[in-house]
A and B are shown apart, each in its own frame.
Chain A
Amino acid sequence: MSKQEFELYLSLLSRFLRLNAGQRSEISDELRDHLEERLDELTASGLSQEAAIRQALDEFGDAAELATHFTQLAHRRRRRILMRCTLASIAAASAVILISFAMWPADPGGNMVPRVVAQQPGAGRAGMGSGLGDVAAPESTRDPQREAVETKLATKIEELDFDDIPLNDALQDIADQIELDIFINHSSLEEEGINGDEPVTLKVNYTKLSAATAIELILERATGPGQLTYSIRDGLIYIQTTEASEDDLEIQVYNVRDILDGVKPITRTVYPGISGGMGGGSGGGFFQIEDDITASAVSMQLGGAAGGPGAGGGGGSAMGGMGSAIAAGLKPVTIEIPAGKVLIDVITGSTGGPWMDIDGDGGKIEEFDGLFVIRQTQKSHREIKQLLDTLRATAKEQPKKR
């Protein structure tokens, strides 16, 4: 008796599920288990068989609606698999770029500075800022479709005047102005209780904002800072929750050779037999350590600045190894912490992340010969790009002497 009613419901549900047979039967099996267990409990509590069946089924609600939920989930899954394929192809493209970069002739500026070099006193200060801005290499992996969207996002919005307009409509307005589709992932938003009706009030009179900034402002006005974010997918703008976006990490390759060149590693010049070190060149005004510290303190400071015990250890051993050479030749020695390590710290420290190394979860940066291979969300990639641009601009403004 009970079986019949339940089977009827399950087959009805199954008919609404736009899934394959295996998935359908798994869902049926799981729900059947629940229904029968619930029936036992309800009848044990004194309900009649008939009433218990009705209640057990009521708790599942409308079969068609429930089926929609399951189907939506499966579609979300399929989209993710698609995303992962895209990600894999980006990774493959990055690898090709990496290899072709590796084949390039060595940069005349000399990127491959050994960690420990003997130098004349004060030589560490020379050559700062050399080659800055000379390198016009690709910033990241190229994708024409995506670039087209980026170009549209960079266009200035003519008119921005929203007075209590629903989020959906505000975004549609921007979409119309730049002639680009904005797709709102409603099922992702609903998980956060955002339904698209949230009011947006935003009026900009004198400044012409870029479409990208306008979208960011609209999202923030509607749902508060950090709730929603946009990314570019298959030629359209995709709106989803920030949390959901953290599952979609992308690999991008950044050529930071110009910045690394200008910044210079952190260096210390050390004289044998004297307990105090002398100041070496410091990088582009970004990173400095105090002078007049003892040799052992130098390695500790450097370790701290480079943000890792590994780097500190490296500094220390380099010092030890140099000790005998110093004693023999009495030449000043400069210790260098690779600028790349320092720049990585600047990036992870000043962008939202999350970063695996800091937050235990999220993106990562790998350095390879002046290239940063960064795995992050699109939002973080935008922040990184902006940071690097700022670093480049600031470095250019600075006079060559310090």
Chain B
Amino acid sequence: MTEKFGPELMRGSLDLMVLSVLSAEPKYGYLIGQSLREASRGMIDVKAGTMYPLLHRLEDDKLIKCRWDDSTGRRRKWYELTAAGHRRLKQQATQWYEYSQCLMEMLKPILAVPPEPA
């Protein structure tokens, strides 16, 4: 029914989303995409072509670290948060929470208007 969130909407927050799905346990790229889809009930669908450069950037920034696993027959790259990643996540989570609260307050009156009958 509702459209998926567009890239321009997610631009500032995608890093944070990836960090947050990694906060509980290590995941590999495909699993991260899946977690994002599940957590957002399908609203957030990050293209693979966006996801992997993003993961590599976070890795460069030392917010996540990787480990290779060869046990499944295919080489698989697992990512997990570093201490800096945990810190960043916590900092930004607070900020984004406040931001979204502000936005909600602002948008409330607009959404309160009952939809016009078709």
Contacts and interface: CB of A to CB of B under 8 A. Distances in A.
Contact of B47 (A33, A61, A77): A61
Given A59-B49, A60-B48, A73 B57 contact: yes
Given A59-B47, A60-B48, A66 B74 contact: no
A257 B87 CA distance: 37
A66 B53 contact: yes
Interface string A6-33: 0000000000000000000011011111
A361 interface: yes
B61 interface: yes
Interface string B11-46: 110000000000000001110000000000000000
Interface stretch (A34-42, A175-183, A200-208, A296-304): A34-42
Contacts of B87: 360-361
B74 A33 contact: yes
A29 B77 contact: yes
Interface residues of A, number: 29
B53 A33 contact: no
Interface string B63-97: 00000000000111100000000010000000000
Contacts of A192: 12
A147 interface: no
Given A70-B56, A73-B53, A193-B12, A36 B74 contact: yes
A65 interface: yes
B48 A59 contact: yes
Nearest to A68: B53
Contact of B49 (A61, A193, A247, A360): A61
B48 A34 contact: yes
B60 A33 contact: no
A346 B76 CA distance: 51
B52 interface: yes
A69 interface: yes
A84 interface: no
A30 B49 CA distance: 12
Contacts of B77: 26, 29-30, 33
Contacts of A54: none
B60 A76 contact: yes
Nearest to B51: A34
B49 A60 contact: yes
Given A38-B30, A73-B57, A247-B61, A30 B12 contact: no
A247 B60 CA distance: 11
A38 B53 contact: no
Contacts of A34: 29-30, 48, 52
A301 to B, nearest CB: 33
Contact of A73 (B11, B56, B74): B56
A70 B53 contact: yes
Contacts of A61: 47-49
Interface of A: 26-27, 29-34, 36-38, 59-62, 65-66, 69-70, 73, 76-77, 80, 191-193, 247, 360-361
Interface of B: 8, 11-12, 28-30, 47-49, 52-53, 56-57, 60-61, 74-77, 87
